[in-house]
A and B are shown apart, each in its own frame.
Chain A
Amino acid sequence: MPEVLKPDSLKILNNPSQEPQWREDFPIRWENDHYVTRRELAKFLTLGSAFLVIANVVMAFFGKFRGAEQYPRAFVANASAIPESGSMLFRYPTDRDPCILVRAKSGELRAYSQTCTHLSCAVVHRAQDGVLSCPCHMGLFSETEGRPVAGPPIRPLPRILLDQQGDQVFAIGVEV
């Protein structure tokens, strides 16, 4: 009669002191397999360091070889249509880029991207304070320069370059 192989569990029941067969075949314990030595941690950290260098090099590459962007010339508004301390919204350079044209207290026309440089909410003109205000986190930008003056934003609003021909105001570029 052929010998019937007993499962490991039965072997252990018959002889509790004996290790099951699979334990002899795979002698590495689970906890040992997952144990990370300090040497392995040092290797892992150095590998992470290499990835960070790659990220920096990729960014440097993009910064170096990205060509100057070409912007179209687009009609924005008639200057006479913007009253003192008034503002109007327009889109430039594409229909997906909201911008705001403001007449500063000094009477000059200025235009900026309407997208807050903090978390991309739309800024609004607060003429009485001479600022562009982001209502999400109360970020404030100067209406004359677009630089952040209060709140969480740290980068200025991209400025839309304007060209005035008579009464007509054209957008000709974006200065980031």
Chain B
Amino acid sequence: METRQQGQTMFTGILLLIGTVIIVQLWLVGASMDALLAHETEILIPAAIISFLGLLLNAGLLYYIHDFDKRVRRSNPAR
């Protein structure tokens, strides 16, 4: 398959992954707010840690996009 086509499929997949992680993070923020108001503080730190792991995943995917771009440009400078 041509690199450009591969890139399009990959981008769509990565954006879907990032979107999914953000939806999970939004849910975590809502659940944490609910727990905070109910004084159930024991779940707040695990929620923050899981949210941070989501950020790391998103950052890793973003880094992969940039790295992929660099490799494509290096192999084909006209693009």
A residues adjacent to B (C-beta < 8 A): 38-39, 41-43, 45-46, 48-50, 52-53, 55-57, 59-60, 62-64, 66, 154-155, 176
Residues on B with C-beta less than 8 A from A59 are 29, 32-33, 36, 44, 47-48
**Cβ B51 vs Cβ A53 within 8 A:** yes
Interface SS majority for chain B: helix
Residue of B33, B41, B59 touching A46 (CB-CB under 8 A): B59
Q: Compute how far the CA of A136 lies from the CA of B25 in the bound complex, rounded to whole angstroms.
A: 31
Q: How large is the interface on B (under 10, 10 to 19, 20 to 34, 35 or more residues)?
A: 35 or more
Determine the distance from Cα of A45 to Cα of B25 in the docked complex, in whole angstroms. Answer: 12
A115 CB to closest chain B CB (Å) equals 12
A interface: dominant SS: helix
Bound Cα distance from A145 to B59, whole angstroms: 46
Inter-subunit contact A155/B37 (CB<8 Å): yes
A150 to B28, CA, bound (A): 25
Residues of B within 8 A of A41 (CB): 15
Using A42-B15, A45-B18, A64-B45 as known contacts, say yes or no to A53 and B25 having CB atoms under 8 A apart.
yes
